[in-house]
């Protein structure tokens, strides 16, 4: 999964198409993300000790991971992401449009380190 919490994403499908916002939560097993201000619904809340007034509570609901694209911090465009190994064997994600690194995925591992040619 190439989307993480606090990433800036752009919604590419649905009612909120074109919206750029920050990821609040990632639900990995379901393949969904909760994005700030996107897919808002009203939950009707009854009066209780916890909620004295009651009424309608507006909250964000999850959307499918396939409906968002990561916004590259260097080029500022919404693009697909890829994964590649660096020379030391660590894994990173990168922007497919400009090739810039957008953060590490996994720490360095010896078997994926590239050997220096002589």
Residue pLDDT, tens place only, 40-53: 999 999 999 988 89
Q: Within this chain, do residues 22 and 32 fall inside the same structural domain, yes or no?
A: yes
Q: Within this chain, do residues 8 and 53 fall inside the same structural domain, yes or no?
A: yes
Q: Within this chain, do residues 93 and 110 fall inside the same structural domain, yes or no?
A: yes
Give the global pTM.
0.82
Q: How confident is the model at residue 32 (pLDDT cuts 50, 70, 90)?
A: very high
Q: Within this chain, do residues 57 and 3 fall inside the same structural domain, yes or no?
A: yes
Q: Within this chain, do residues 23 and 79 fall inside the same structural domain, yes or no?
A: no
Q: How many domains does the chain have?
A: 2
Is the backbone of residue 104 left (phi > 0), alpha (psi -120 to 50) or beta? Answer: beta
Contact 74, 98 (CB under 8 A): yes
Question: pLDDT, tens digit, for every residue of 61-113?
Answer: 999 999 999 999 999 999 999 999 999 989 999 999 999 999 899 899 888 88
| CATH code, domain carrying 46 | 2.30.30.30
Q: Within this chain, do residues 90 and 100 fall inside the same structural domain, yes or no?
A: yes
Domain range enclosing 110 = 72-118
Neighbours of 102 (CB within 10 A): 20
Q: Within this chain, do residues 47 and 6 fall inside the same structural domain, yes or no?
A: yes
């Amino acid at each position: 999964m190439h989307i993480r919490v606090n990433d800036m994403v752009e919604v590419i499908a649905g009612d909120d198409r074109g919206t750029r916002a920050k990821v609040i939560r990632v639900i990995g097993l379901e393949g969904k993300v909760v994005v700030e201000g996107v897919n808002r619904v009203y939950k009707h809340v009854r009066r209780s000790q916890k909620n004295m007034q009651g009424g309608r509570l507006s909250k964000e609901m999850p959307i499918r991971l396939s409906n968002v694209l990561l916004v590259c911090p260097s080029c500022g465009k919404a693009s697909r992401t890829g994964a590649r190994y660096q020379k030391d064997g660590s894994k990173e994600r990168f922007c497919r449009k400009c090739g810039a690194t957008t953060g590490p995925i996994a720490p360095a591992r010896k078997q994926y380190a590239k050997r220096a040619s002589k």
